[in-house]
Amino acid sequence: MPVVEEKKRVVVCIEDEPEMIDLIKLILGRKNFTLEGAVGGREGLEKVREIKPDLVLLDLMMPDIDGWEVYQNMKADEELSKIPVIVVTAKAQSIDKVLGLHIAKVDDYVTKPFGPQELLASVNKVLGITE
């Protein structure tokens, strides 16, 4: 049976720690994803507008524009509002953040520190990929 070449899915990771972007790039790179990193919310929004990725991984705690603001900007923009968002957040953040995720209707969230399988499972679930 011929092997069907899957199109690489593009993921933008908006995160204020470059090491975290590198880690996620490593995890997703093995699974046929192209990861574009953006350091901070402002750069992240620009990159999302430019690339229109299949998925956004979004950190909440960032110094310039926080993740909520990025999320609200995306949802308010007709061209970006359908792009799924997985929030990647530190466990230490309060319960209202988690409740906010349900109210805001983000597609999923992963808490740091996370294992590679946990991240991949979330990405696959949100994108409807079955392995």
In the chain, the domains with their CATH numbers are 9-126 (3.40.50.2300)
- What is the dihedral sign for C-alpha 40, 88, 52, 26? positive
For the chain (length 131 residues), average pLDDT per consecutive 10?
70 96 95 95 97 96 89 96 91 60 78 92 94 65
Q: In the structure encoding, which two tokens stand for residue 65, read together?
A: 């524009």
Q: Please give the pLDDT value at position 131.
A: 65
Strands (E), the chain: 9-15, 33-39, 55-59, 85-90, 108-112
CA dist., res. 122 & res. 70, Å (int) = 20
State the burial class of residue 119 (Cβ atoms within 10 Å of its Cβ: 0-12, 13-18, 19+). Answer: buried
Q: Please give the pLDDT value at position 101.
A: 64
pTM: 0.89
What phi and psi values does residue 77 have, to the nearest 5 degrees? -100, 120
